[in-house]
Amino acid sequence: MKHLPYENWILDEPKLSREEVKSLAYHLASCKQCNQLKSGWETSKLVLTQAKLIAPVPGFSARWQKTLIKKCNTEKVRRYRITLFGLLMLAFSASLIYIVASGSFMQILANFFNSIIQTIIAVTNGLSTLGVWINKLPTVVPLAAGFIFFGLVNAFLMAAVFLFWNLKNRKTLVNETTMD
């Protein structure tokens, strides 16, 4: 038996012609499934129309609007980030394609390694010169400078450890809100 037109007539409640009303009544008399659907739908409509409206908690609309604004701003920032990332990837891809296509890739690679080697040589020469100057100083001066440097490094490390420990154990104040 075909139920589709009858189910649509029951649930959509269109204006039916006299023949369609007779056909629906005849079908409902013989079809238990469609009869249950009709009674269930009428009961559901009755429950929906007689339901009592509950007033929202005071301030609900203001909180909802703030949340909506936050979500819109978050979505806008996400779109900007995706666009910026896409543009950066496009620029990177275009420059990489240009470098490879122009044949200057090996030249750029050679220049890069050359600059690294030149930097290492310059740092080595600087450290050698510094060593010569330190050897000319009395022994007490480099030793004292080393102790001062070691003390400062330890002081900064202790301050960083205390700061991170304090941030980890920090409680939320009364007038602060937590982020989700």
DSSP label at residue 180: -
pLDDT at 180: 53
Integer Cα distance of 142 and 147 in angstroms: 9
DSSP 91-160: HHHHHHHHHHHHT-HHHHHHHHHHHHHHHHHHHHHHHHHHHHHHHHS-THHHHHHHHHHHHHHHHHHHHH
Q: How does pLDDT run across 4-45, given as a tens digit for each residue? A: 888 888 888 888 888 888 888 888 888 888 888 889 988 888
Do 27 and 34 touch, CB atoms closer than 8 A? Answer: yes
Do 130 and 122 touch, CB atoms closer than 8 A? Answer: no
Do 75 and 69 touch, CB atoms closer than 8 A? Answer: no
Do 1 and 31 touch, CB atoms closer than 8 A? Answer: yes
Do 58 and 30 touch, CB atoms closer than 8 A? Answer: no
Percent of the chain with pLDDT strictly greater than 70: 93
Domain boundaries of the chain, sorted by first residue: 4-50
Q: How does pLDDT run across 58-104, given as a tens digit for each residue? A: 888 888 899 999 999 999 999 999 999 999 999 999 988 887 777 67
